[in-house]
Every structure is written in structure tokens, then in C-alpha cells.
Amino acid sequence: MPIPLLIAAYFVFPALAIYICYRFPVINKIGVVILCYAAGIVLGNSGMLPDNADRYQTMLSEAAVALALPLLFFSIDVKKWTRLAGKSLLCMLLATVSIIIVSFSAFFIIRGQVDGDWKLVGMAIGLYTGGTPNLAAIKAALGVDTGTYIIMHTYDTLISLIYIVFCIGIGQRVFNLLLPRFDWSRYGGEGRVDMGESEDIHAYGGMFRPRTLAGLAGALLLSGAIVALSDRFSALFPKEHVTAVVILAITSLGIACSFIPKIRGIEKTFQFGMYVIYIFCFVVGSMTSVSTLININWPLMLFVTVSIAGSMLLHAILCRFFKIDTDTFIITSVSAICSPPFVPPVAEGLKNRMVLLSGVITGIIGYAIGNYLGISLAYLLRYLAL
């Protein structure tokens, strides 16, 4: 498949998925996000991708997240979100404690079965409080073997996709059995409060009206300007902090714009931002290689699976003790385990835009603390275990 055709497919399929879900209620129960991930995995393992596709996949996925975040923030009512701030930070603390306890426990399960097993704990703590940039940084800091790093990253991608699908699909219903439901009455009404526009699939209707398109074109230009300014700003910081700084700057500027009534009043910016996120989901799905799983490193696969599933379960138990609601728990868990780019599709799956900002901000905190925790606790474990 030629590169131009591949890029066109990345833009066209998410729009087609939205239309299919809009047109057929039965398929809409699956959801656009899951359709895009599934279709991406099929495309990525079809043998149709060109040899240099990874270069364009990386650029497109990074650009999609950067452009989508301001669009998603433009219509948010920050004053209402501030009522969630304290609970979200507590929830992030509990997520961090959970991954530390679980990764230490998983170490003793696989101890002696993987070279540099104590280093895996450091990478897991950095990865599941921050994200891939933390994983790469800790890999370099601890001198992790490249082969081990690639295998762990691949297994993480696979298990994380399963975890994301669970969170979007049935996670809310499952954890509502353990945790309190999100209390909408505290944020201006009963039931799911309208945050400016409905998050239902039918909210995409009317996007092609000339007036709406003109507003969205302006919003896209503004989003691009925010990304460009954030990128220039990040050049003032050390390379290892660039990702966190860029996301923090984009978030700050996007939120600042939401205080301007004319910008917050632009129709369909949230839906347009979600379309861009669907592009990200489709691209990420196509980057997942099933062939890597033919010869499975079972101890390493077990370590990754236990780290993700175990930390989520322990996190949920701790949240029950502190009476944290299901939506806040899920979005914070996603921001910690999968990083901020995966927060918007899960917030959309929860039908709760109120928690979107909480997820992104707690994810940024994870970026900031991930390297410190991962490196220091890995050496602590090495000292204690040897």
C-alpha cells in the first residue's frame, strides 16, 4: 500500500466508523473507539503496510493527540471541574501506590527467570505512573537490554489495548458494583449533565453546516497555533522532559482558551477533537504486531499482565476505602497506566466529559514523577533483594 493511500485511510476510516455507528444503533453499542482499534490491528497485521510505515505512524499519532487536546478542552467548564480536583489527586496517589506494591510483588513471582529482573520493576513503575517516554528514559538510566525493552514494550501495548477496551466497554458497569457512582448532582444537575454538547453519537449531526465548518476551521487553526507555541516553549527544557512540557503547555493554553466565551461557544469542537482521537486509535491499532507474540517470553508477559491487572484491582480496592467514584477511578487508572493520550476515548466511553481534564492533569503528574520513582525504587529493590 503506498504511503499516500495509507495516510488517506487513517483519515477516512474514523469518519466512516462514526457514520456507521450513527446509522446503525446496534453497531454503536460496540463504539467508534473499539471499531478503530480493531480495524487498525487488522490493517497492521494484513501485510499491506509499506516497510517505512512506522515513521509515518509515529508522526501521525503524535500529531493527532497534540491537535485533539485543545479542541477537547475548548468547550470544558473548568469551574465545574475544580470540584473534582482534590479527589482526582488522591486517586492518582492511590494509583501510584498500587503499581509500586504490585510491581514489587510481581518481581518475586518472576525472580531469576529474566535477566535484570529488578530493572523491570523500575520500568513498570515509570511506565504505569507516566508513559512510554518514562519507559525509554528508565531503560537508558538502568542500562536495560534493548531486546528486553522491545519485548516488554510490545507486551505492554497488547495488554494495554485489552485493558482500554475493557474500560470503554464494560469497566464502568463492573466497577459500579464496587465503587460509588459519579455524583452528577454535585455538578449542576441530576443524571448526565450537559457540558455544552451531548457526547452521544448523534451529536456529530450537523457538523457539515457551513457555519459550523467555518467555526471548526478556526478552532483547528487555533489548536495548531497552540501546538506550535507549545513545541517552541518545550525547546527551553532538557530533552528528557520535552514530552511532559509539551502536553502541559498544550493543556494550559487549551484550558485558558476555554475561558473565552467566543471560543467556548464554537459548535462541535469536542466532536471534532474526538474524530482526531479516533484517528489516533486507528493508527495505534495498526502499530500492534501480532507476529511478535508467536514466541512468547512467558515470565515477561506474566510480569506485564500482573502489573496492569493487579495494579488496577488494588487501585479499585483502595478507592472503595476512600469512597472515590467509578468514573474518577477509571479515568485516573487510564491516565496512569496508559498516559494522557488515551484519556479522551475512555472519557467518551464513560459518557462523562467532566473527568477528561482530571485524567489529563493526573497523567501529566505521572510523567513528572515516573522517572524519579522508577529509577530510585528499582535500585532500592536491588539493594533489598540481593
Burial of 369 per CB tally in 10 Å (0-12, 13-18, 19+): middle
d(CA 185, CA 194): 12
Least confident of 109-113, 231-235, 285-289, 291-295: 291-295
What does the mean pLDDT of the chain come to? 81
Residue 98 pLDDT > 90: yes
What is the grid cell recorded at 319?
Answer: 478507592
Q: 355-379: per-residue pLDDT in tens? A: 877 787 787 777 767 777 888 888 8
Note whether 254 and 226 are within 8 A (CB). Answer: yes
Residue 97 pLDDT > 90: yes
Q: Which residue, among 32, 45, 2, has the nearest Cα to 278 in the 3D structure?
A: 32
pLDDT computed for residue 319 by the predictor? 93
Categorize the per-residue pLDDT at 194 as very low, low, confident or very high, splitting at 50, 70 and 90.
very low
pLDDT computed for residue 241 by the predictor? 65
Least confident of 113-117, 213-217, 319-323: 113-117
Greater confidence (311 vs 349) lies with 311
Note whether 337 and 308 are within 8 A (CB). Answer: yes
In a domain, 99, yes or no: yes
pLDDT computed for residue 275 by the predictor? 87
- What are the residues whose beta carbons fall under 8 Å from the beta carbon of 257, sequence distance 6 or more? 70, 73, 74, 222, 226, 263, 264
Residue 263 pLDDT > 60: yes
The CATH number of residue 358's host domain is: 1.20.1530
Least confident of 72-76, 188-192, 224-228: 188-192
d(CA 328, CA 315): 12
Number of Cβ within 10 Å of residue 359's Cβ equals 30
Give CA 156 to chain center in angstroms: 13
d(CA 120, CA 107): 8
In a domain, 193, yes or no: no
Categorize the per-residue pLDDT at 84 as very low, low, confident or very high, splitting at 50, 70 and 90.
low
What is the total count of domains within the chain? 1
Categorize the per-residue pLDDT at 135 as very low, low, confident or very high, splitting at 50, 70 and 90.
confident
What is the rounded average pLDDT of the residues 98-121? 88
Q: 34-70: per-residue pLDDT in tens? A: 788 788 888 888 888 887 888 888 788 778 878 887 8
Residue 196 pLDDT > 60: no
Greater confidence (207 vs 185) lies with 207
**Distance (Å) of CA 386 to CA 37, 76, 191, 328, 381:** 42, 51, 54, 39, 8
Residue 180 pLDDT > 70: yes
pLDDT computed for residue 311 by the predictor? 93
pLDDT computed for residue 309 by the predictor? 93
In a domain, 311, yes or no: yes
**Distance (Å) of CA 163 to CA 91, 117, 312:** 18, 24, 10
H-helix or E-strand spanning residue 192: none
Question: Domain limits at 76?
Answer: 3-184+207-385
Residue 328 pLDDT > 80: yes
In a domain, 213, yes or no: yes
d(CA 219, CA 258): 11
The model's pTM: 0.67
Residue percentage of the chain with pLDDT more than 70: 87
In a domain, 350, yes or no: yes
In a domain, 196, yes or no: no
In a domain, 201, yes or no: no
What is the grid cell recorded at 160?
Answer: 494495554
What is the grid cell recorded at 366?
Answer: 505521572
Give CA 321 to chain center in angstroms: 26
What is the rounded average pLDDT of the residues 125-132? 82
Categorize the per-residue pLDDT at 244 as very low, low, confident or very high, splitting at 50, 70 and 90.
low
In a domain, 176, yes or no: yes
Q: Per mean pLDDT, which of 65-79, 208-222, 246-260, 272-286 is the most reliable? A: 208-222
What is the rounded average pLDDT of the residues 256-264? 86
